[in-house]
Amino acid sequence: AQHAKEVSDHLAVLPPTTLPTFLASDLNAELGWGCDEQGTCRATGNNGKTLEFLGQCMGRGLQAVAPPPEDYRTPTSRPRQLHRRGKQIDCVVANAGSPGPLRIYRDSCLSLGTDHELISTTITIQSSMAGRAYVDPEEVKMAFRRGSKEPPQVIGWKSEGSGPIEPFTEDELQGAIGQGKPNKAVGVDGTSHELLKGLVEVPGGRQALLKFYNDVYRDASVPAANLHGQRCGESVQSAIVAENGTVAAGGMAQGLGGG
């Protein structure tokens, strides 16, 4: 229980991370090696301390790096007492990369002046390749940012027209009005579909409405009165009254000339 707590406290210092992690350890307990059913060499233990350590490491995604087969039983401890036998108690655990075999430098303890052999391993870590997806250059990004702050523009409206125009015909006017739907909200100028439909049924109304639209089309300018709240229909009504003296409203002719 004491050993399990010490291992747990030691591994708790390592915060959860996806970064490559490597840990060299002196277990103070013998480590063995064996192959599983898939032929993969894995660390084993014949005592509680080793099994506890390997289990906690596995819970953190750490696997012991195996030595080559000829070093499965090579000791890494070299006791100074003549009657004691050395054991393999040192290891390296890793959670990423492609670890090479664990190398045990035999008799290196004599040069190091310690009771442990020197161990090492080579771990290859491959970085992910940079994405090859298209990325807008900086000038395009800047242009997009500027454009998102500007009001939308209708392409072509600022260009000056040239040459003669082809005015709208009565058939085109009738077709456009016929496509309208009744009982709809009026536009910003307050002109309803019913008003326009009534205007073209009045004597002279169709011609007056057609002239109004063709004048706007030819001059590329809306009359000032219409820009300040006067309805399109009211402008056409005025033109009809000036010519005929009457205008139809709700299917009835009403005199607007004062008599």
Going residue by residue through the chain, which has 259 residues, state the pLDDT in tens, using 9 for 90 and above: 788 888 888 888 887 777 888 889 898 889 999 888 887 888 998 888 899 999 999 888 888 999 999 999 999 999 988 888 899 999 999 887 777 799 999 999 999 889 999 999 988 877 777 777 888 899 999 988 888 887 776 666 666 667 788 899 989 988 888 888 888 766 666 677 888 888 888 888 888 888 888 888 888 777 776 665 555 656 666 655 555 554 444 333 333 333 3
171 and 236 fall within a common domain: yes
* Of 65, 91, 123, the domain-final residue: 123
171 and 224 fall within a common domain: yes
* Of 98, 123, 148, the domain-final residue: 123
In a domain, 150, yes or no: no
Q: Which residues pair with 42 in a beta bridge?
A: 34
Q: Note the pLDDT of residue 65.
A: 92
Place of tokens 């007492």: 81
99 and 42 fall within a common domain: yes
Alpha carbon of residue 206 to chain centroid: 55
Phi-psi region of 152 (alpha: psi -120 to 50; beta: other; left: phi over 0): beta
In a domain, 152, yes or no: no
175 and 98 fall within a common domain: no
Place of tokens 């430098």: 105
Query: What is d(CA 10, CA 163) in angstroms, rounded to the nearest whole number?
Result: 88
91 and 182 fall within a common domain: no
18 and 117 fall within a common domain: yes
34 and 102 fall within a common domain: yes
Q: Note the pLDDT of residue 200.
A: 83
Q: Note the pLDDT of residue 245.
A: 53
7 and 110 fall within a common domain: yes
Tokens of 6: 């010490």
In a domain, 57, yes or no: yes
118 and 171 fall within a common domain: no
Query: What is d(CA 49, CA 40) in angstroms, rounded to the nearest whole number?
Result: 23
Strands 103-105 and 41-44: unpaired
Residue among 153, 159, 67, 166 at smallest CA distance from 117 = 67
10 and 118 fall within a common domain: yes
173 and 82 fall within a common domain: no
In a domain, 193, yes or no: yes
Buried/exposed 14-49: b ≥16 CB within 10 Å, e otherwise: eeeeeeeebbebebebbbebeeeeeeebebbbeeeb
Residue at 60: amino acid letter: R
Per the structure, the count of domains in the chain is 2
Domain containing residue 215: 167-255
- As to burial, measured by CB atoms within 10 angstroms (0-12 exposed, 13-18 middle, 19+ buried), residue 76 is buried
Residue among 66, 89, 69 at smallest CA distance from 77 = 89
Cα-based angle 22, 25, 30 (whole degrees, multiple of 5): 130
Q: Which helix (H) or strand (E) holds 93?
A: strand 90-94
* Of 89, 123, 157, the domain-final residue: 123
In a domain, 159, yes or no: no
Q: Note the pLDDT of residue 256.
A: 30
In a domain, 50, yes or no: yes
In a domain, 93, yes or no: yes
Crossing angle between the packed helical segments 170-178 and 205-219, to the nearest 10 degrees:
100
In a domain, 132, yes or no: no
